[in-house]
Chain A
Amino acid sequence: MSSVEKYLKPEVINQIKRLDLRAQFVVRGFLQGLHASPFQGFSVEFSEHRKYTAGDDPKDIDWLVFAKTDKFYVKKFEAETNITGYLVMDLSRSMGYTYRQDLSKFDYAICLAASLCYLMIHQQDPVGLITFDQRVRDSLAPRSKRAHLGNLLSHLSRLQPAGETDVAHSLIQIAAMLRHHSLVMIFSDLLVDTEPVIRALRQLRHGGHDVILFHVLDEAEVQFPFQGTVELEDPETQQRVRLDADHFRRDYLQEVEAFRETYRRACFQSGIDYVPLDTSMPFDKALLEYLLSRQARF
């Protein structure tokens, strides 16, 4: 493994405290690992010509080509290749959970968000940030300037998971907020009732937005590594459950899988990209998912 690629691993990136560096390392490591460049579709440079047809703006005609071939060709414009991205962060207390005490779901989500942010700014895509708990808390309007990256990252690094959350309500709010067709990237553990959330997601999608749902769970929540009799307490509702972990594991894993499957199916039906993640997974999966989604749009 090359020195840069190792930064795709959460445990490695966790040693880097500065979020801007984290994002930089993640993205560099990721780009170096790719063989074919996925950037072609939305490059600001020239990519292809198209025959001029009536109705096209005559100012788009490439006169150099006309000079060589004596035919009219038009070039694509920058505005078509750019996409406005929104990073939507769930601030619920459960997001701050970590079993191994190194990288919480929130940290993972922040790191991922920062990386995406870095990636998009570098492509001159405007990126904004929305945080929510019971309702939308903060929002930074999307910009594509380099300076904006610093704002975003410093804002991200200041975020703290606290309190209860209402994902569905917040998503409906966000759907109402966004004017242009945008790429909405949601980072949440979704540990709430599924039905309202799915409905809200559909509403968001119906608004014409592209949605990528990064479903971030803790490694322990996915693997259930407990042993013997344990008493589990919900950090948000303070509910307690006593059980024998050894015998319960299979049932629990089935439940988690069923939960993820519910979202996967609902998202597939609505054309939403659903990316199930846990805190032990390398970041490239999430990034690749974003890029593939981005590419599919052009």
Chain B
Amino acid sequence: MAFVNLSLVLGTMLVGIPIVLHLVMRQQPKRMVFPAVRFVQRRQESNRRTLRLRHWLLLLLRCLAVALAALALARPSVSSNLFGNWIIIAALTLLVLLIGVLLLAGILTRQGRLLLTSLGVVGAVACAGLLTMLIGTLRQSDTSLIGDRQTPVAAVMVFDSSPRMQYRHANRTRLEQAQTIADSVVRQLPPDSQIAVLDSRAIAPVFSLDLAAARKTIERVRPTGVPRSLDQLLTTALQVLDPNSLKRKEIYVYTDLTAAAWELDDTARLQAQFAQAAEVALFLIDVGVEQPRNVALGTVQLSAETMPENSDLVIRTTVSMTGHAAAGDAEETAVELWVEDYDPTLPILREREVVLPTARVLNRHEVALSGNDSETVEFSVRGLTKGTRHAELRLVRQDALPIDDRRYLTVTVCDPWFVLVVAPSDVDTSALVEAIAPYQYRLENRATYVCKTITPEELVNHDLAEYAAVAILDPPPLSGSSWGQLGTYVRDGGQLALFLGHHAGDASAFNSADAQELLPGRLGRQYRVAGRDEYLAPHGYEHPILRPLRSIATSVPWGDFPVFRYWSLPELANDAVVVLRFGNQHPALLERRVGHGTVLTMTTPITERERPAGRQAWNELAGPGDWPRFILVNEIMRYLTQHDAGRYNYTAGQDIALANHPDQDPSRYLLFTPGGETQPVQARDDKVTISTAEVPGVYRLKGERDGPVTRGFAVNLPASASRLERTTREQLDAVLGADRYQLAVNQEQLVREQGRQREGREFFPFLVVLVTVTLILEQLLANRFYRDTDTGAS
């Protein structure tokens, strides 16, 4: 507790005046003869007690009035966060006084012992509460700082520099507005203050040398694509402030108060931290807009990131609207797809300018949105030529928040994958070929796979190196050299798919050492199933092959495609993984890594005719309506051929790793960032790793290996970056603790809150009210006590 006029506290000594008047100035009685003394005697005792009580009560009120008036003029103030405590203390003091008066009255008027005892107990409890509260509050309060505006401050300026802060209102982005306010805050900080500037990148800052340096740092704050939550920033700020030796510590948070900036699900942690650092004052400066309006493009979804030439690329995104006019009042906008021309010589630095390939509008979708709804937009692109291709989705209409008006995407277009299909002549290979490369697509030259079919006999001495994958359908027992050839192929990175069937005949041929190198385990007997009760029964859908089925898992009619016979595998190799099982938990599809390659083995064929001649069918997987098999086959082939296809589309902040084959790709690149900057990048461990891609846009890598090589990737902001819903006061209270922070929306309010925080909260108005109440009470009591006199005399 601090006083503006400390000397006036001495004024409380004037309390002595009424006491002296009461004790010393007591008038001497007039002595007179009066025969009717007998009427006086009887009532004299009780009268004297009442009289004394009234006198004491009046004396108490007068003393209280004098003391309170003196205290009010001394203008005491306490730090804002302890204000509540002091109010409670004052209330408790009044309670104790009241109980004291009641107790006195009870004793003087000789009330019952029970009443007096209970009053005494209540009074003692109140006294104990008052003492505890007083000691606790005094221990907490550091009054040396209150009331002095010129004490140096250790301040951390925390900027929410998330992309949302680029929201433009009144022709200023929110970040600019924050910087302006911060600049004026720094200007009016006391000299010798220490300032650290922290933005959403959450790099622990150091205190600037002087205020001018701090202002420079504030000017340099730029939005970041990878914002940390304000919770994390505040934790960092507290850590920075903790060792500082200055006594007054303040944190200024400049934010648009969007809900996305806070971790609203874990509120207790930060609240506890702030409760611990009670000396730190927290100011929230709300630079946000009350009702933001925004049209945003959502996350881009691509049908594939790596695709063969001529195949279709499907691009899907959502257009959503925030805070626009009421429903029914549709606003129209359009989304354009811009695709860059392919030019391996670009980008290039020409006269310090980065020259980029030209982009053209390939397609355009009109969108009409109303209210807070969203709409999905889909583009289909065909005929992209080979190479790394960059494209962009753009909203035609500009709005207040430009960061989500563009979405970037990168795909790599390559040759189709060559697949060697090995099958005995009586096996129908079309079941596989038509599934992965349909006739129509083959005609139009846009099939993803180019299939070549040979018999197992032709496999010997067939050059496998050019094939992305080899699929062996219902293999007969193969010669040792064939197994050896396949083994070499797989170890060198080849992909092999085996669909075992009735041609396998004797299992022992597959249990040879050469075969077992590739197979997932020793083949047992052919397992027969009576009836139609056994079928494929995927359990989890974590494996990439099953992932496309995950969303429709419950509606896949596996039961319509029963399996009657399959090869049992009593012993599995240590490194074999079961991808898919039958209902009885026997393995149906297994994966085994061999060298650099992968072998997928299915224990029942996928090419079984419905009624094969001379024997029973092994399954009905290829029965009518066999779309699950279609998907399964396609996913198996995709998994085999594209498992190492790179990712080219990232979210800001993610670590980026592009595969770099040392025998095909350059080892050094020049990185062109979307901001037009360049930096050299070195490939290491067959990878190009970039960890600084925070700005959304297209990043291009350019290297030299037998001519220019261009690669690249696209970085987008997460969709949450443009969520503009505001936090409510309740949420803030939950995160920071009620009364733990001061909220200001402009500079004047901030100055006021600062004053309140630094000068504490004054008791003056409360004291004046108390003085008034006391005086009124005194008057009322005095009037009531002496009214009898007046009426009696009249």
**Chain A interface residues toward B at CB < 8 A:** 94, 97, 189, 191, 217-218, 220-221, 224-237, 239-244, 246-256, 259
Instruction: Identify A252's interface contact among B30, B40, B785, B786, CB under 8 A.
Output: B40
Interface majority SS on B: helix, strand, loop or mixed?
A: helix
B34→A243 contact, CB < 8 A = no
Size of B's binding interface in residues, CB under 8 A: 30
Q: List 28 A-B contacts (CB under 8 A).
A: A94-B35, A191-B35, A217-B36, A220-B34, A224-B792, A225-B793, A228-B27, A228-B29, A230-B29, A233-B32, A235-B35, A237-B37, A239-B37, A239-B41, A243-B48, A244-B47, A244-B51, A246-B792, A247-B50, A247-B51, A247-B54, A247-B788, A248-B44, A249-B789, A251-B43, A252-B40, A252-B43, A256-B39
Q: How many residue pairs bridge A and B at CB < 8 Å?
A: 104
A229-B27, A239-B37 known; A248 and B32 CB under 8 Å? no
Q: How far is the CA of A233 from the CA of B39 in the complex (A)?
A: 12
Quick one: closest B residue to A192, CB to CB?
Answer: B38
Q: Do A232 and B789 contact each other (CB < 8 Å), given the known contacts A243-B44, A247-B51, A248-B43?
A: no
Q: Is B42's CB within 8 Å of the partner chain A?
A: yes
8 Å CB interface, B751-794 against A:
785-786, 788-789, 792-793
A79 to B34, CA, bound (A): 46
Asked whether, in the complex, the Cβ of A243 is within 8 Å of the Cβ of B47, the reply is: yes
Check B33–A242 contact: CB distance below 8 A: no
Q: Which residues of A contact B352 (CB under 8 A)?
A: none
Q: Is the CB of A233 within 8 A of B37?
A: yes
Q: Are B43 and A232 in contact (CB under 8 A)?
A: no
17 further A-B contacts with Cβ under 8 Å, apart from A97-B35, A251-B43, are A220-B34, A221-B35, A225-B793, A230-B32, A232-B34, A234-B33, A241-B40, A243-B44, A247-B47, A247-B789, A249-B788, A249-B793, A250-B788, A252-B43, A253-B792, A254-B43, A256-B36
Question: Is B113 among interface residues, defined by CB-CB distance under 8 A?
Answer: no
Q: Shortest Cβ distance from B43 into chain A, in angstroms?
A: 4
Q: What 0/1 pattern do residues 179 to 218 of B give for CB contact below 8 A with A?
A: 0000000000000000000000000000000000000000
Q: Which chain A residues border B26 with CB–CB below 8 Å?
A: 229
Q: How far is the CB of A255 from chain B (nearest CB, A)?
A: 4
Bound together, the chains give a CA A253 to CA B36 distance in angstroms of: 11
The reply to whether the CB of B643 lies closer than 8 angstroms to some CB of chain A is no
Closest-CB distance, B26 to chain A (whole angstroms): 8
Q: Is the CB of B51 within 8 A of A228?
A: no
* B139 beta carbon closer than 8 Å to chain A: no
The answer for the CA separation of A234 and B50 in the assembled complex, in Å, is 24
User: Does A191 contact B47, Cβ atoms closer than 8 Å?
Assistant: no
Contacts of A252 in B (CB 8 A): 39-40, 43
| Residue in A189, A220, A249, A256 whose beta carbon sits within 8 Å of that of B792 in the complex | A249
Q: How far is the CA of A271 from the CA of B119 in the complex (A)?
A: 54
Q: Is B551 an interface residue when CB atoms closer than 8 A count as contact?
A: no
Interface residues in B8-51 (C-beta closer than 8 Å to A)? 26-44, 47-48, 50-51
Q: Are B29 and A242 within 8 A (Cβ)?
A: yes
Does the CB pair A191–B36 fall under 8 Å?
A: yes
* Residues of the A chain whose Cβ atoms lie less than 8 Å from the Cβ of B47: 243-244, 247-248, 251
* Given known A221-B36, A224-B792, contact A230–B785 (CB-CB < 8 A): no
Cα A228 to Cα B41 in complex, Å, equals 17
Docked Cα-Cα span, A241 to B40, in Å, equals 8
Measured between C-beta atoms, what is the minimum distance from A232 to chain B in Å? 4
| B35:A236 contact, CB within 8 angstroms | yes
In whole angstroms, how far apart are the Cα atoms of A224 and B786 in the complex? 16
3 closest Cβ contacts across the A-B interface? A94-B35, A249-B792, A246-B789
